[in-house]
Amino acid sequence: DKRRTARNLVAKLSSVSERTRNEALAELRLISRQDPESRPLIADAGAVPYLSETLYSSSPAIQENAAATLLNLSITSRDSLMSTRGLLDALSHALSNSASQGAVQSCAATLHSILIADESSRPIIGSKRDILYTLLSIIGDEHAPARSIKDALKALFGIALYQLNRASLVGLGAVPALVSLIVRDARKGIVEDATAVLAQIAGCEESEEAMRKAGGLEVLGDLLDEKTAASTRMRENAVGALLNLARCGGERGRKEVGEMGVKVMDVIREVGENGSPKGKAKAVELLKFVVDGNEYENEVRELRLKFNSMNDFIDHSI
């Protein structure tokens, strides 16, 4: 039966024979990927502490098997992972030291899996500055595979969902790293994910000065320029970032957002008309901010009337 199989394989992880351990590890990776019902059984059999310890292995292949198994288990057994002493330190070690990009990707994806589903994990993981630093190092590496960057961005997004983590990310240089990535990397999906993280981080007062120094406002404006071929998701994220800067920034920041908003008003209006429900809500709120915060009343009075009927869409959550 599945429970007996899980127990037997986990028992082999403590074998004195390296070959026996490796074979069991490979089998656990396979089973946990192919059979979702086996995941809680493997976790209940005590696999997580062994897998965590295995992330310190000198073998990239063994690290990769352990990391992939942990990722599979994180889908259904997050509590087993977070209750394992030293797991976050082991993930951090593999993120920064593994020669296997597969292990790096699985570790970052495991963090994302935990962060998205478990709000209580966000302040805990966000307090691990070595994890934050390593994830930012991955997105700043021009030679990193696209998959590694995307997995790191998703983990950073989960971390940034917790308000108090945003200032820590700003302090570690997240804003220039993200702005640089948006400017330089055209690979599919990366700019969308990078702008999503930037929009979250913009929701803290510390981000305003960092955005100014990194040229972030201009980059957001470029994404909302009619001449650029930015996707709808990029534009929705840019709208969200500007709105968060307006909400959380000081007087100077709000003024700069208002001035930028006037220049790209047509695209903001387009997001308000054709975006996702959340995108529409944020575009409407940003348009109202732009209208109320500057002297272009005649130019945008028609827009104000047009969007009054969309007030019920407004979502004040960051």
CB 151 within 8 A of CB 157: no
Q: What is the pLDDT of residue 293?
A: 64
> Once rounded to an integer, what is the mean pLDDT over residues 59-75?
96
Mind listing the pLDDT tens digit for each residue in 165-183?
999 999 999 999 999 999 9
Q: What is the pLDDT of residue 271?
A: 94
pLDDT at 318 over 70: no
Q: Taking the complete model, does pTM exceed 0.85, yes or no?
A: yes
For the chain, the average pLDDT equals: 90
Q: Domain coordinates of the chain in residue numbers?
A: 205-317
pLDDT at 257 over 60: yes
CB 210 within 8 A of CB 216: yes
CB 168 within 8 A of CB 132: yes
Q: How far does Cα 154 stand from its chain's mean position?
A: 3
| Alpha helices, H only, 35-143 | 38-44, 47-54, 60-74, 78-82, 87-97, 101-117, 121-126, 129-139
pLDDT at 314 over 50: no
